[in-house]
């Protein structure tokens, strides 16, 4: 049976240590809009929306939190990468993060694209990424 595929990421849920502080940070830094707060029996969730991409991010504060902060070396999530349309967008993001006092890497250019890395209040690594346009393959018959 063939894989039916998918069209993108519908939502992203992250576990955080302080849902209110994290929601404020994501609103301030990423410009997300708060949609709702839900109180479950074992966790509190704040749902945020990025108006441009329509990506929904759920921030979850669980009653029981295992020891330690986020560490991408543990099995599970390594980091979250958000894409930007132009390389210059990363420079704008770098200026924005600096103005907000958010610690970040310099924009780093690689063979495949460019990245700007920073972390949320729980040390979850976030990245703004621009992919270099791919060069079209040339057909050997055309040369």
pLDDT at residue 139 above 80?
no
- Output the furthest CA–CA distance in the chain (Å, rounded): 66
What is the pLDDT averaged over residues 81-99?
A: 96
What is the pLDDT averaged over residues 119-133?
A: 95
Determine the pLDDT at residue 59: 96
Whole-angstrom distance, CA of residue 59 vs CA of residue 44: 8
Name the more confident of 30 and 135.
30
Model pLDDT for residues 19-41, shown as the tens digit of each residue: 999 999 999 999 999 999 999 99
pLDDT at residue 72 above 80?
no
Determine the pLDDT at residue 2: 84
Determine the pLDDT at residue 110: 94
pLDDT at residue 3 above 70?
yes
- pLDDT category of residue 96 using cuts at 50, 70 and 90: very high
What domains can you pick out in the chain, each with its CATH number? Answer: 9-63 (3.10.180.10), 79-135 (3.10.180.10)
In sequence order, what E strands does the chain have? Answer: 11-15, 33-39, 43-49, 56-62, 80-83, 108-109, 113-119, 125-131
Model pLDDT for residues 10-20, shown as the tens digit of each residue: 899 999 999 99
What is the pLDDT averaged over residues 2-8?
A: 80
């Amino acid at each position: 049976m063939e894989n039916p595929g998918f069209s993108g990421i519908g939502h992203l849920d992250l576990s955080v240590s302080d849902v209110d502080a994290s929601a404020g940070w994501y609103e301030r830094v990423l410009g997300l809009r708060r949609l709702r707060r839900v109180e479950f029996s074992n966790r509190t969730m704040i749902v945020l929306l990025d108006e441009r991409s329509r990506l929904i991010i759920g921030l979850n504060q669980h009653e029981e939190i295992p020891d330690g902060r986020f560490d991408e070396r543990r099995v599970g999530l390594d980091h979250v990468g958000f894409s930007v349309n132009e390389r210059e967008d990363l420079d704008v993001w770098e200026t924005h993060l600096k103005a907000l006092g958010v610690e970040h890497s310099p924009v780093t250019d690689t063979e495949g694209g460019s990245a700007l890395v920073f972390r949320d209040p729980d040390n979850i690594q976030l990245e703004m990424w621009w992919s270099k346009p791919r060069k079209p393959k040339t057909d050997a018959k055309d040369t």
